Amino acid sequence: MEGGAERPYICTEEGCGKNFQRGEHLKRHVNSVHLKYRRYECPHEGCTSTFSRKDNMKQHGRVSHGLPPVAMEMSNGSFSGS
């Protein structure tokens, strides 16, 4: 493959076909995009947003609620926000 790294891991979901450099990236893609796996809940009271990745949840907290990163560390997928 010229101009970039090889991407040997291919998503086999019908109609997708995205490819990835690493197997764990493919697994993350399948879990978040196709299986809609959402382990992380926003800890901000009254917010019902959920995320498949902790980094996305932390970014949401900073951008949407003005929360510092340390406040978002409290959420591990079981934090209820109450």
In the chain, what are the domain boundaries?
1-37, 40-72
Query: pTM of the predicted model, to two decimals?
Result: 0.63
Residue 52 has pLDDT above 80, yes or no: yes
Listed range (14-18, 50-54, 72-76, 77-81) with the worst mean pLDDT: 77-81
Q: Which fold has domain 1-37?
A: Double Stranded RNA Binding Domain (3.30.160)
Task: Tell me what the mean pLDDT of segment 42-61 comes to.
Answer: 91
54 vs 39: CA distance, rounded Å: 8
Query: Could you give the residue ranges of the DSSP H alpha helices within 4-68?
Result: 23-29, 54-65
Q: Is the dihedral of CA 74, 76, 61, 25 positive or negative?
A: positive
Q: What is the pLDDT of residues 9-33, one digit of tens each?
A: 999 999 999 999 999 999 999 999 9
Angle at 66 between CA 28 and CA 55, to 5 degrees: 15
